[in-house]
Amino acid sequence: MSSATWISLTAGSLLLLSSEVSAQKPSILALETLDQKHCCAIQPEELRSKVYVMRPTERAEQLADDMLNRILELYALTAKNWELRAADIDTAYACRDPVTKARVIYYNESIMKDAEDLREQNGSSYLLYRTEAILAHEIGHHQNDHRFGKQKAQRQKEEAQADLFAGMALYRLGASEEHTVKVFRSLRAGGESHPPAQAREEVARRGWLLGHEQEKYLNVTGPIVDDSRDADSHKERKPQDETTIPTLSHLTLLANDSEYVIHTSGQFPSGPGVGFSLQGQLEFPASGSLRVSVRFSHSDGGALSAHRREAHYRTSTGQVATASRPYQFEGGELDLATIAVDSIPYYALNLIPTGFEKVYSVMARATVFLSDAPVAETKPIEVVVRW
């Protein structure tokens, strides 16, 4: 995939590109043999064992890159290890490269042309949403770590999870509920690999409704952790930089449960959320305002990013976080068990429901601040969430 060039997906900018997309002719780059054990198609009976990879037009490639990055950004997902390949297929495939482990999405260039063809829809963005839904569905397969099982029940379950992901993505992309259902009504359904048409529509609608429900809970009260002055201290640090803030082995952050199982049926869960307690003692000669923050990261160390409209359970730099209220500390010995850290509601973790198929492993680390200066932190602990 080429490096993404960011453009605005407005009707005006898309129309400016349309003549250039059709002006260039695609050419064949390679004939690829697909391992069907690592692939799936968005529509039934579409997956082929051999495909021609095409050289896309410059503008179609630009649109595809932009859509991929836009959807990944909605869920604060990294664009690392993703590949887009134009191919002579009907719509789109999701494949895991068995050698490089890259997350590959093959797509028919015509769906990018459809996304641009807004003039024929009298300004309607339906075709744009359809193309975004197709890409989001394939992203959903990869994000859910699907293994593309060949048994009918497992395969249909995986397709439903990808449809749910796409429905949530369409809400965040601005599609209406009506547009979301219309998009999935246009896709083929049924057969051995995919749920029936009505089931696909209902799952996509449920994803859209979950996205809508999450918006109701988003806080607007400002970041719970204002790290604007100490942001540099909390950039992802290399091992040799760990001396920046002392990590003290006798300080312990504890999750209140060994595993959090979130049950939901159309309603986005608001609580009780993930709770924490602290153990250990510190001694400081100085007095000042003391607080404890808890930041969340992925298991690979990358920051777990908050929903773009979540304003409270986050740091000022966008990382999912919770914290204690400020305490006036007069110096001397401090028992951390007396510090109460706010629980973080499930919705604020910005995770994606998978029907209990995926176990999320996120890391949490507590940092102690005295007069806004970080003075100590705990080792990270694992928080397991099954949704």
Asked whether residue 141 falls in the same domain as residue 262, the answer is: no
Residues 213 and 249 in one domain: no
296 with 212, same domain?
no
Q: Is residue 4 part of a domain?
A: no
Does 272 sit behind a cis peptide bond, omega within 30 degrees of 0 on the bond before it? yes
Q: Which amino acid is at 320?
A: V
Tens-digit pLDDT profile for residues 42-53: 887 678 888 899
Q: Which carries the bigger pLDDT value, residue 60 or residue 235? A: 60
Q: At what angle do helices 126-143 and 177-185 cross, to 10 degrees?
A: 80
Q: Is residue 160 part of a domain?
A: yes
Cβ within 8 Å of residue 2, ≥6 positions away:
61, 65
200 & 62 share domain? yes
Helix (H), strand (E), coil (C) string for 19-40: HHHHHCCCEEEEEEECCHHHEE
pLDDT of residue 21: 40
Residues 54 and 158 in one domain: yes
Place 226 in a pLDDT band, splitting at 50, 70 and 90: low
Q: Looking at the domain assignment, is residue 6 inside a domain?
A: no
pLDDT reported for residue 354: 64
Same domain, 187 and 211: yes
For residue range 281-313, list pLDDT tens digits in order.
Answer: 888 888 889 999 999 998 878 888 887 778 888
Please state the three-class secondary structure of 320-370 as a single string. Answer: EEEEECCEEECCEEEEHHHCCECCECHHHHCCCCCCCCCEEEEEEEEEEEE
Tell whether 222 is covered by a domain.
Answer: no
Confidence (pLDDT) at 172:
86
Where residue 267 sits, what CATH number does that domain have? Answer: 2.60.40
Q: State how many domains the chain has.
A: 2
pLDDT of res. 266: 42
Tell me whether residue 5 is in a domain. no
Q: Is residue 252 part of a domain?
A: yes
Predicted confidence at residue 219, as pLDDT, reads: 56
Statement to judge: residues 322 and 205 lie in one domain: no
CB 341 within 8 A of CB 364: no
163 and 236 in a common domain = no
Measured CA to CA in angstroms, residue 240 lies from 52, 127, 243, 244, 366 at distances of: 47, 50, 7, 9, 20
pLDDT tens, residue by residue, 264-284 = 444 444 456 788 888 888 888
Same domain, 26 and 115: yes
Residue 270's domain spans which residues? 231-386
Say whether both 211 and 258 belong to one domain: no
Residue 2 lies in a domain: no
Range list of β-strands (E), the chain: 27-33, 39-41, 50-55, 82-86, 92-96, 103-107, 252-255, 260-261, 276-279, 281-284, 288-298, 321-323, 327-329, 332-335, 359-370, 373-377, 381-386
Please report whether residue 224 resides in a domain: no
Please indicate, yes or no, whether residues 77 and 143 belong to a single structural domain of this protein: yes
